[in-house]
Amino acid sequence: MEKFETDGVVLKTGVTGEADLIVYVLTRQRGIIRAFAKGARSTKSRLHAGAAAFVYGAFSFTEKNGVFHVNDIVPQEVFFALRLDLQKLSLAQYFCEILLRTVSDTESDPMLLRLFLNSLHLLCGDKKPALMLKAVFELRIAVLSGYAPALVACGQCGEYETPLMFFDVSEGALYCENCAQAPRSELIPVAVISAMRHIVFSEFSDLFRFQLEDALLPVLNRMTERYLMQCFQHRFRLLEFFYQSL
C-alpha cells in the first residue's frame, strides 16, 4: 500500500455505490488518477466539497494493487464562475474531455496541469476571448503530447514566409505559395500562421500574449481544432455543446 500527496484538479466525477464517487484527477506529474472517494456524496463527508469538477487543490491518495482511494482533499480554487456561464462551462468541459482522452494514467508533463489551470483562470476572469483560449489549448496540448506541427518554414523548400502561406492539417506541415499542393493544403492568412507559431514556440509565460484580430479567430480555431482531431484521430463530443453556447 502506498500513500502519497499531490496537487491536482478534478476533471470529472461519476457515481458509484450508495454514497461514493469516482473522481478523475489530473495531477501534476502522475497523469490522471481515477480514484474512489468514499462517502463523498454525503454532505457530511469531508471529501464532499472537494470531489467536484474543476476543484483544484491538495489531494491525498492511497494506492493498493492498482486501485486508488482519495483520503483527503484541501480545495484551493473552485473556479466558481464556470457554474454561472454556459459558454465558459462548456469550454471547460471540452478541455476536460481532451485531457481525459490524451493524458496517460501513469505520468504527465507538469505543463499540462499548468496549461489547464491558466486557461480556467483566464476564462473565469474574462481576460481573453473564449475562442482564443480554445485555440491555444488545442494547439499547445498537441505540442505537449508530442505532436508539434512543423511551422518553422515551408516543408518543401525551407522558405520562412511568402505573401501566401498554406497549412496541411493531415501532415501538420506548412507550405509556401510555390510548394503548396491543392487541395491538401489550405490557404491561411499569414497573421494566423504567426499566431500558430507563437502558440507552438513561445515560452509558457508568454503563451497567451499575442494579438489576432477578432475576424481571424474562427480561422485559427478551425485549424487548431482540425489539427487536434487529426493528431488523436478522435472527434471530441463536447465541442458541439460549446458551439451551441456561442
Least distance from C-beta 158 to Zn ion, angstroms? 7
Per CB under 5 A, 159 contacts Zn ion = yes
SS (H, E, C) the chain: CEEEEEEEEEEEEEEECCCEEEEEEEECCCCEEEEEECCCCCCCCCCCCCCCCCCEEEEEEEEECCEEEEEEEEEEECCHHHHHCHHHHHHHHHHHHHHHHHCCCCCCCHHHHHHHHHHHHHHHCCCCCHHHHHHHHHHHHHHHCCCCCECCCCCCCCCCCCCCEEEECCCCEEEECCCCCCCCCEEECHHHHHHHHHHHHCCHHHCCCCCCCHHHHHHHHHHHHHHHHHHHCCCCCCHHHHHHHC
Least distance from C-beta 149 to Zn ion, angstroms? 16
Q: Which is nearer to Zn ion, 117 or 153 (CB)?
A: 153
Q: Which is nearer to Zn ion, 160 or 243 (CB)?
A: 160
Per CB under 5 A, 177 contacts Zn ion = no
Least distance from C-beta 162 to Zn ion, angstroms? 7
Per CB under 5 A, 164 contacts Zn ion = no
Per CB under 5 A, 157 contacts Zn ion = yes
Give the rounded distance of the alpha carbon of 72 from its chain centre.
26
Beta bridge partners of 61: 4, 70
Q: By CB under 5 A, name the one of 49, 100, 111, 179 that touches Zn ion.
A: 179
Please identify, among the stretches 81-89, 146-154, 214-222, 228-236, the one whose residues bind Zn ion according to the rule CB under 5 A: 146-154
What's the rounded Cα separation, in Å, for the pair 245 and 222?
Answer: 17
Per CB under 5 A, 161 contacts Zn ion = no
Per CB under 5 A, 176 contacts Zn ion = yes
Q: Which is nearer to Zn ion, 56 or 175 (CB)?
A: 175
Sign (positive or negative) of CA dihedral 102, 5, 93, 51 = positive
Please identify, among the stretches 144-152, 171-179, 208-216, 231-239, the one whose residues bind Zn ion according to the rule CB under 5 A: 171-179
Please identify, among the stretches 107-115, 150-158, 213-221, 238-246, the one whose residues bind Zn ion according to the rule CB under 5 A: 150-158
Site string for Zn ion, 80-119 (x = CB under 5 A): ----------------------------------------
How many residues lie near Zn ion (CB under 5 A)? 6
Per CB under 5 A, 154 contacts Zn ion = yes
Q: Which is nearer to Zn ion, 194 or 245 (CB)?
A: 194
C-alpha cell at 220: 485559427
Residues that bind Zn ion (CB under 5 A): 154, 156-157, 159, 176, 179
